[in-house]
Structure 1
């Protein structure tokens, strides 16, 4: 039976009640009472019809098997995992075995952290490594005399740089530095001996690599460039001598107390070459003494015979 049919049947069964009006146009008390009773009767009938409809729907769902299907589709309830209780380890009440030989000694603490040696770390940071070339690197006493100096320190990373601290490269107006091979703006040297492009050094390279001030060099009428003095340490000149390039080692040599890279190379390699020459001369003198002793022994044996 459809919803429309049931509602029509309910309407037909309900008696039509109209309030009786009195002569003066008002409704009497009997009419009001009957209207209230009719409204209560209508609400109870609606509840009965609603319950009947729910019952019929449940029976229909049961016949179709929808109730069992809905129960199967519900996910099973998962039991919450049991939390493991933290257990504190029981104290070891058994007597500790200690040898009588070590009972007087303090127990060893294996949890102590090793203290890093800051001096060894600094020495590793200041270690300078230059690969060996095809020829041994050494310098003469005359080259050490050609090391430059300056009266005023040169301020690095200012001349030839913009406001943001970036170096200005200009292929047209710039001048090529013999050391860094960059065509930049700023002060550059001019060699009074060769008067060639090899005598052009920018202010930063001249100060870091040779310990000289570019302004003082340009004011000196007898100034010679490092290639003319035989102390140039650029990559091209070093490879021409069979030596490997040094790389950027200015910060390390300055921490070691050297004025420039040239001062570090010449002073350290000069001492090494002196030691090699001393050891070689010592070996030669030892050989001479041995040969002289051998000749004297032979002369003595000849006299005995």
Structure 2
């Protein structure tokens, strides 16, 4: 009985709400406006004789007279893979021997060698890198990432067995190594070492106890000295300097690190 009475109450409220809405719409004249609009639409359609919506006539293309475009491979014209006048293929696909600078390498038709072997072969074919700054040949296998420029390039040092001979077990003499951390923070190429920190690679090699700029900052060996790589500056909540070597040289500083060190000294004095 309780459910029936609740359902009866709901129906009674619903009917009352519907009648209220109808009375409100009649008082606003909505039904009358809708009837007028329907009469206007019907009169315009009867006067034009068709619907107001225009239909575009679709053009039917005659494909029977149009020649089909097919490649020579589908036509079956070129069947000889060694015919250089027809199909252009590399010596690797033909299985031929590549000879450059008295280096003969039988390149396999399929990729069987590892990335290290391909890196060594590429290194022998290209020859020794001439640049001693950051290097000019990028190699993800033999190259060691610099802490500042973050480039995995082969160095141009003449006696480097890693970059010159392709021996991955040998160290790169064109990159520094910190005697304290022995980590990636202490690896710098020749150009970044000189431009950003004012040190020469030959002098660093002679120092067995050489400390990288990152460890020098952490241990407080040189006051106001900081590592000015973008990674370290962001950790200090400082804006990276970008190409600041020109500004440093114009003001008579040895490197960007010496410029920043002098600025930090002046800021400490003013505070």
Say whether the fold is shared (TM-score over 0.5). no
Bigger Rg, structure 1 or 2: 1
Specify the TM-score bucket, using the shorter chain as the normaliser. 0.3 to 0.5
